[in-house]
Structure 1
Amino acid sequence: MSIPTTADAVVIGAGHNGLVAAAMLADEGWDVVVLEAQDQPGGAVKSAELFPGYTSDLYSAFYPLSVMSPALKALHLEDHGLRWSHSPAVVGHARNAEDDDAPVLWRELDRTVADLNRRTPGDGDRWRDLFTQWRRIREPLLETLFSPFPPVRGAVGLLKELGTAEALRLAHLLLLPAGIMAERLFEGEDARLLLLGNAMHADVPIDAPGSGVMGYMLIMMGQDGGFPVPVGGAGQLTAALVNRATSAGARIECGHEVEAIDVRGRRAVSVRTTGGNTVRVRRAVIADTSAPALYRNLLPADALPASVLQDFDRFVWDTPVLKINYALDAPIPWRSKSLSDAGTVHLGADHDGLIRWMADLNTGTVPLHPFLLFGQMTTADPTRSPEGTESAWAYTHLPRGVDDDASADQLSAAVDVVLEKHAPGFSDHIVGKTIQRPSDLQASDANLHAGAVNGGTSQLFQQLIFRPIPGFGGADTPIENVFLGSAGASPGGGVHGVCGRNAARAALGGDGKLGWPRRQFNRAVLALTTK
């Protein structure tokens, strides 16, 4: 079947953000076509049977942001086939290879509190107080973090809830380096490590300003909604998004790579594919692509201010990811039995080890002692592999710019050493293993450029009004009806769909009373910074 020749909106890319945008536009009666270069939708939300009988998530795996996201909650994906599953414990962090009593964040608040108080008297109570505050401020805080810049409505809500003095203290807390935040909040190493390990889900060094916000958000979200997984694999989340978008009338066409957006008089008029198809655009184009791909490859250079193109010469990607998938014929023999119940496990580094690990990455050194995230998928969802086995993965980072053949093999060997130390006998239970190098990630999803999974660094200099480059901070671009709807736009990476939602709202012009002044503010800033 040929693709349409005309549409109200073309969405470039069928990742989760693109699918969210497509569903929202179709809900408003727009004629929407989604063009996806790969042969199936989903972007970095996919699963596959890499080993017979074992379901592996190929990219993202746990979804605390998804269940809290206002963008995804508004789509009611549970009505379109999505079911969530949880591991008994949310996340654990082993202090070192000899740790036989690793701290764990339990799904039940009282259990987490009691365990942390056992380890360091008072830390469990501090955790409860922090969580009590989180429940008070959750909605306005998420509104603040998930809105285009400036986040007026959420900020006003925080001021109403907390008052000026407490709101300023919260803002100061969230801007702290993760190491300092952990010391401010807790007395003992166990609670601190739970925060620090979660902070490392982003690519911000724990001694850098703003690195604490990810740790704070994930431990609070983990205590609140857990780290759930879709029953049957990450691909089931994509399947629900596809069902939701198509049921609203959106059309999803895979195997069609867009090569250019045609612009006339500051507006996009059509998109062209590498296969020779042209789709004329009546209203808008939403790009669920990386920011550099949109500005460097898809938009004509003569339609953009020279300063914008120069700024993209300085665009910073997040560090490349190495992912290793395992099929195991038995549960993992953890030295610390507490880790057996955790879906997500942090291994390989305490506070000082995390700093040394980041130093390796920042100096182009392949780490010999890597910090890694480890996922026990069958523990979280028993459908992932036969009873008594485990489908699992490990995830860590390489330095930017290194050859990913030899370096990936070297780092993979170091990962196996870490796992064997924390779980003696681990290697004896491996019945299947595959490595996804940074080049593999990019080949399967162009947005994962050189293995970067967050659409660009999450460090403060490339967030908020500096994302993707200074003067932006939302979905708007210098082309009036073209919007960036990927992790390259604020608020950035993670499976929350907010980038797609923000782009759809901007295209619709229907983002409430604050939408018009926010867009005028963003366009004024764009005008000032793109001269």
Structure 2
Amino acid sequence: MARTDPDVVVVGGGHNALVAATYLARTGRRVTLLEAREELGGAVAGARLFPGVDARVSRYSYLVALLPDPVVDDLGLDLELRSRRVASWTPTPSGDLLVERAEGPATRASFRALTGSDDAYEAWRSFYARVGDLAAVVAPTLTRPLPRAAELRAEVPTDVWHDLVERPVSEVLERTFADDTVRGVVLTDALIGTFARASDASLVQNRCFLYHLVGNGTGEWRVPVGGMGRVADELVRVARAAGADLRTGAVVTGLVPLPGGGAEVVLADGSRVSAPHVLLGCAPAEAARLLGTDDVGALEGSQLKVNLLLRRLPRLRSGADPATAFAGTLHLGQGYARLDEAYGQAAAGVLPDPLPAEVYCHTLTDPSILGASLREAGFQTLTLFGVHAPARLFRDDPDGMRDRARDAALRSLQAVLAEPLEDCLALDADGRPCVEVVTPVDLEHELRMPGGHIFHGDLAWPWLADDAVARTPAEAWGVATAHPGVLLCGSGAVRGGAVSGLGGHNAAMAVLAAAGS
């Protein structure tokens, strides 16, 4: 029987790949998606991590910020994304800094108690209003062909563009805020998933900062009801409903570009499939390996994720209500000076200890990820995300360093608690504490993310340079490779990164534009 090849092959089964597959299958194209693992959803998938415990947690991701509402509506995703009532809570020896989601008198009072005046809070409000000016202009462009930098620059106040796009973010933070704690809270959005100083001349930290604050024009990070696994489940559902052929256990070992565009995809079982459009949900470095070309350079993730299940939330040294402190982002050891010190330690090959980290409790906003008996008993999940934990620290002794990193991260948390964390930890069916640690090396091995880099590489500005040439739809949408018909559709695409679906959406739009659809 003659082989019938699809119109589109999507390599990878993460959230971006599923978005691309759905958009294209709905146009009547024959779409085959190939996922190496036995489950779909990639870093967004949910799992029952602890044996015998009815809690479905995302091992790798935790909140949704950049997924555009229009993409949710286009795909018909049955998702509820809830706002947290607290934006952040930061304990310090001088007092606790509370930032409400809808800032009110309690936020102002907290800034005043910490800094001694209203000046810091007024500076905070002014700064984020300026960030909002940039986000409001950039956000609508994320699901369109890439704009030119000059187009956006013309719509943004000159000083905002200068401070956030042209100069290291350290300069505006040090000029705007006098308090070390306030500076550090702002800076954290520039560091998640990125190994850099606030003053890095490459501005990689500025790009990270923008991506964390631009989602849907507000930058709000929302809690998916049902957990991140619900996001994955919905993406799988709509892809199948659209007619996409979703295959698991399909390990791709090579790509052979075809003269007319597209590629032949080689699988580990010896089978081959060709298509005029091949979309790659993997990192650009992994794509280069599959194509047999030079790597794009060494990549290095720099984060630690610790998943915990507690019988109850622990009491805090400050006496703050745990239901408030853990409801938003709890910043630990993330003062401005400490973040810089920790970077220097990690760059020198020493794990920062205690590790700067942030924590939040999904179940305070959405308890549905727990079974009924756990909910009734008051169990809670915690997600801890540590920064300045680069992959290089874990290469020589992955298991030993995983344990050391876990202890360094939990020491950060223990420092603000009024009781031993161990007294609050749940136990699994084998009597072990419900604590799971994921390092950059784990991500590399489990999800084929080179270097464990959660963005598949350094984030790019979400626009074209003024002198850049965009000759093809793939270039115009920021998804091109060196081979016609072979497109990036994952986090390594321009405007990829985080749980956004943008890589998948934009690759699908480029395919449709090339066909005149």
Instruction: Note whether the superposition's TM-score is higher than 0.5.
Output: yes
Query: Cα offset for 1:158?
Result: 5.3
Structure 1 portions without partners, runs of 5+: 302-308, 466-470, 516-531
Matched, 1:430 2:425: yes
Structure 1 residues 222 and 9, CA gap change in structure 2 (3 angstroms): closer
Structure 1 residues 354 and 62, CA gap change in structure 2 (3 angstroms): same
Query: Cα offset for 1:223?
Result: 10
Write out aligned runs for 1:16-415 (5 A).
Answer: 16-51=15-50, 52-66=53-67, 69=68, 72-76=71-75, 79-95=76-92, 98=93, 100-101=95-96, 103-111=97-105, 114-115=108-109, 118-119=112-113, 120-143=117-140, 151-152=147-148, 155-156=150-151, 159=154, 161-162=155-156, 166-167=157-158, 169-203=160-194, 204-209=196-201, 210=203, 211-215=205-209, 218=212, 224=218, 226-265=220-259, 267-281=261-275, 283-296=276-289, 298-301=290-293, 309=294, 312=295, 315-336=297-318, 337=320, 340-385=325-370, 386-387=374-375, 388-396=378-386, 397-401=388-392, 402-403=395-396, 404-415=398-409
Q: Could you tell me the TM-score, scaled by structure 1's length?
A: 0.81
CA distance in 1, matches of 2:209, 2:99: 13
Structure 1 residues 382 and 269, CA gap change in structure 2 (3 angstroms): closer
Q: Indicate the SS of the match to 2:170.
A: helix
Structure 2 portions without partners, runs of 5+: 427-433, 466-470
Q: Which letter maps to 2:197?
A: P
Asked if 1 retains the 8 angstrom alpha-carbon contact of 2:262 and 2:277, the reply is yes
Query: Cα offset for 1:123?
Result: 3.3
Asked if 2 retains the 8 angstrom alpha-carbon contact of 1:64 and 1:228, the reply is yes
CA distance in 2, matches of 1:91, 1:223: 19
Q: Indicate the SS of the match to 2:74.
A: coil
Higher mean C-alpha deviation, range 118-127 or range 138-147: 138-147
CA distance in 2, matches of 1:24, 1:324: 34
Structure 1 residues 167 and 422, CA gap change in structure 2 (3 angstroms): same
CA distance in 2, matches of 1:217, 1:106: 21
1:167-217 Cα offsets, whole Å, 9 max, x none, are 464244334333322223334444323211222214132121432454465
- Percent of matched pairs sharing the same residue: 25
CA distance in 2, matches of 1:419, 1:511: 53
Q: Indicate the SS of the match to 1:198.
A: helix
Report how many residues are paired.
478
Asked if 2 retains the 8 angstrom alpha-carbon contact of 1:330 and 1:429, the reply is yes
CA distance in 1, matches of 2:499, 2:355: 25
1:376-405 Cα offsets, whole Å, 9 max, x none, are 121231223334221112222533333222
Q: Could you tell me the TM-score, scaled by structure 2's length?
A: 0.83
Partner of 1:304: none
Partner of 1:526: none
Structure 1 residues 274 and 143, CA gap change in structure 2 (3 angstroms): same
Query: Cα offset for 1:135?
Result: 4.9
Q: CA RMSD in A?
A: 3.2
Q: Indicate the SS of the match to 2:262.
A: strand
Structure 1 residues 70 and 383, CA gap change in structure 2 (3 angstroms): closer
Q: Indicate the SS of the match to 1:430.
A: coil
Matched, 1:441 2:443: yes
Structure 1 residues 226 and 111, CA gap change in structure 2 (3 angstroms): farther
